[in-house]
Amino acid sequence: MANQNVKGWRRVLYAFRYSMQGLKSCFELEEAFRQEVFLLIPLIPLALWLGDTPVERAILLGSLLIVPMVELLNSAIEANVDRVGLERHELSGRAKDIASAAVFVSIALCVVSWALILVPKWW
79-121 per-position pLDDT tens digit: 999 988 778 889 989 999 999 999 999 999 999 999 999 999 8
What's the N-to-C CA distance of the chain in angstroms? Answer: 55
Q: What is the CA radius of gyration of the chain?
A: 18
Rama region for 87: left / alpha / beta (φ>0; ψ in -120 to 50; rest):
beta
Q: What is the pLDDT of residues 62-71, one digit of tens each?
A: 999 999 999 9
Single-letter code of the amino acid located at 13: L
Domains of the chain: 31-122 (1.10.287.3610)
Predicted TM-score (pTM) of the model is 0.88
Query: What is the H or E stretch that residue 65 is in?
Result: helix 54-84
Which residue from 122, 81, 116, 121 is spatially nearest to 100, judged by alpha carbons? 81
Give the active site residues: 71
